[in-house]
Amino acid sequence: MKSRIFLLGLLILFLLLLPTFAGKYPLYMTIHILILSVFALGFNLLLGYTGLLSFGQAGFFAMGAYASAKILLVIPSLLLGAIAGMVAGGISALILGYLCVRHTRIYFSMLTLCFGMMIYSIAWKWRDVTGGDDGLVGIPRAPFQIPGVFSINMESMGNYYYFVLIISLIAIFILYRLVNSPFGLTLKGIRDSENRVSFAGISIRNYRLLSFTIAGLYAGLAGSMIPPLENTVTPPLAHWTHSAEPVMVTLLGGIHTFSGPIVGSILFYLIKDIIVRYTQYWLIWFGSIVVFLVLVFRGGIVIFFTERIWPLLSHRSPPP
């Protein structure tokens, strides 16, 4: 356990010092990794902990992105944009989740897919508000400020990196506490045996809804960090193929571990970056990796590491 905390500290130190020696591109990549991690962690609360496969998370991601973009175009305040994105993702997840959690398994997946595509079609067609297929452009990377107290310029990639890093670390920490609380335990109980949990007098539907809302909240937060980075938001953010991203990443890292989605996100961008150097057709390779993973490697990278590699390295039993 001690060595894990040490490693974690080392990782955070590395992330904090990254801007001092890394160029703009690695920072840009790391921001994307962090955003995808937050997105996928929220998603994994649903899949890994509650046992619900959502194919509409991109809808909430886009809600967050559009909300934050709209705010930033009016009031240039980064924090306000992030909060708006989070609230937008959370509220839409609460409303749609109320309708979705009636079902489980395939019907749940279909219903979330359906709602996600609804949000996509709104983003695509409601030109007055969303800018149609052009999206919203010219979103400023606003300063991080509390009026009258302080204001930090975010124009440089390094500063924005710190903003994303700190928000993501806070979000990850909160989620970590959450899944290791009685709440997380209840969710796992629902995943493993619905009947037993309901016999214990727990409202399954409310817990599922709560879990869905939190996942939406995280998707919205992740989405809200996109517009200041890219300066635009476009409808493909809400498309169902984007919903598949957290699914793949979570699978890559491992479903039943907390760190799975984070490891998966890192690998996702690393694989992409390496393959893109050799060929523009990187999806064919990524698709093959996904197929391979499902067929032979279903536990994910993290489980593989903790159960096979770790004992070899330390000659000890794997950490819990």
Partner 1 sequence: MYLWLLAAGLTLVFGVLGVLNFAHGSLFMLGAYATFTFYGKLGINFWVSIALSLISVGIIGAILERLFIRRIYDIDLAYQLILTFGFILIFDDLVKIVWGGVAMIPPMPSFLEGNLSVLGRPYPIYNIFIIFAGLAVAVILWLVLEKTWWGRMIRASASDREMASAIGINIPILFTTVFVFAAMLAALGGALGTPVRVVAPGIGTAMIIQAFVITVIGGLGNLKGAFVGALIVGILTSFGILLFPVFELFIIFVVMAIVLMVKPEGLFAK
Contacts to partner 1 by CB under 8 A: 47, 53, 55, 99, 102-103, 105-107, 109-111, 113-115, 117-118, 121-122, 124-126, 240-241, 244, 247-248, 251, 281-284, 286-291, 294-295, 298
Least Å from the CB of residue 168 to partner 1: 25
Strand 144-146 vs strand 150-152: parallel, antiparallel, or unpaired?
A: antiparallel
Q: Which is nearer to partner 1, 55 or 160 (CB)?
A: 55
Q: What's the count of helices (H) and strands (E) in the chain, helices before strands?
A: 16, 2
Least Å from the CB of residue 58 to partner 1: 13
Q: Which is nearer to partner 1, 15 or 244 (CB)?
A: 244
Least Å from the CB of residue 100 to partner 1: 9
Phi, psi (5° rounding) for residue 144? -85, 110
Spatial CB neighbours of 97, under 8 Å, sequence gap ≥ 6: 208, 209, 212, 213, 216
Q: Which is nearer to partner 1, 184 or 246 (CB)?
A: 246
Least Å from the CB of residue 95 to partner 1: 12
Q: Which is nearer to partner 1, 115 or 161 (CB)?
A: 115
Least Å from the CB of residue 37 to partner 1: 19
Q: Which is nearer to partner 1, 39 or 161 (CB)?
A: 39
In terms of C-beta density within 10 A (0-12 exposed, 13-18 middle, 19 or more buried), how is residue 116 classed? buried
Question: Do 39 and 222 form a contact (C-beta atoms < 8 A)?
Answer: yes
Structure tokens at 128: 């007055």
Question: Do 269 and 310 form a contact (C-beta atoms < 8 A)?
Answer: no
Question: Do 245 and 57 form a contact (C-beta atoms < 8 A)?
Answer: no
